[in-house]
Amino acid sequence: MAKLIALYKHPENKEAFDDHYFNVHSPLTAKIPGLREMKITKISGSPMGGEGKYYLTCEMKYDNLEALLAGLRTAEGKASGKDLMGFAGDLVTLMIGKDA
């Protein structure tokens, strides 16, 4: 399995972020061909206290790296990427990874 991890910093307006994220962005992303699983985690803080820098993470699994990269190049992948840059381009860090 290969995975794409999206890590979002705290948005200024959490309500507007959540509304777009769950009602627009996630459904767009869910359509990407080859996507096997999508796991969204809300960050509530740090064991050291404080809310920390990050707000939410999403892990998207594909069969392998080739399938992941091919998925991002499809029309659905491009639509998700374009939407992402529009509402959270300054908040998101994207990482490609695989199980160690």
Residues that bind a second copy (CB under 8 A): 3-5, 7, 22, 39-48, 52-54, 56-57, 65, 69, 72, 93-100
Q: How many CB atoms sit inside 10 A of residue 67's CB? A: 17
* 70: helix, strand or coil: helix
In the bound complex, what is the minimum distance in angstroms from residue 19's beta carbon to a second copy?
13
In the bound complex, what is the minimum distance in angstroms from residue 66's beta carbon to a second copy?
13
Q: Which is nearer to a second copy, 3 or 76 (CB)?
A: 3
Judge contact between 42 and 56, C-beta under 8 A: yes
In the bound complex, what is the minimum distance in angstroms from residue 83's beta carbon to a second copy?
15
Q: Which is nearer to a second copy, 12 or 47 (CB)?
A: 47
Farthest CA pair distance, the chain: 42
Q: Which is nearer to a second copy, 31 or 61 (CB)?
A: 61
Q: Find, among 27, 29, 34, 37, the residue nearest to 77 by Cα.
A: 29
